[in-house]
Amino acid sequence: MLRLNGPNWEPSKAYYDCRYDVLRKPLGFSRGAEILQDDVQAIHASIEIDGFIVAVGRSHLIPETSDGAQSDFPGQGGPKTPPFSKLDHDHRPAIQIRQMGTLDAHRRQGFAAEILSALEQASKDTFGAVCGFLQARQAAIPFYQSQGWILIDEPYSIPNVGPHRSMMKRF
């Protein structure tokens, strides 16, 4: 079952457990790296099966004064992501999709597409978003392209995470 929460919602331990298990634990990060400072201001989507969260994702409004560059995770020394070159007046209000992940045993069942679609619609409804941006891990690029997202900017690597590409979608 799809669940959509926020903004002004504190994610549950089960939500963070899924995010950690999919996105941070495989890279050797310690607990806490899955929690972002602006999680309360974000819209969160998750898929729950038999009371267990198996897929997650979130979107947040990119502040008018921001170019989209930010820390990949909280704390001192967290790697920085680059700005989005296409984030200009014509593409605002804009949101960023982050922290998309599905547990291995539940992949290839359409959950990521369901979460992404729900976040896009909720971002339009809640924030008035006209455009979305994201930073995709190399392996996830074909998925996002299949959902109408396009590559922008040059490839880059986030230290301790790996190769990424920035992507955008006009809503």
Give the span between the Cα atoms of 120 and 59, in whole angstroms: 8
Segment 103-156, tens digit of pLDDT: 999 999 999 999 999 999 999 999 999 999 999 999 999 999 999 999 999 999
Give the span between the Cα atoms of 169 and 95, in whole angstroms: 10
Segment 43-101, tens digit of pLDDT: 999 999 999 999 999 999 999 999 998 876 666 566 778 899 999 999 999 999 999 99
Q: How far is CA 155 from the centre of its chain?
A: 18
Give the span between the Cα atoms of 137 and 123, in whole angstroms: 22
pLDDT of residue 47: 99
Domains and CATH numbers, the chain: 2-72+79-170 (3.40.630.30)
DSSP class of residue 18?
Answer: H
Q: Is the pLDDT of residue 167 over 80?
A: yes
* Phi, psi at 5, each rounded to 5°: -140, 155
pLDDT of residue 71: 77
Query: Hunting for tokens 């997650």 — which residue is that?
Result: 56
pLDDT of residue 75: 60
Three-state SS for 157?
strand
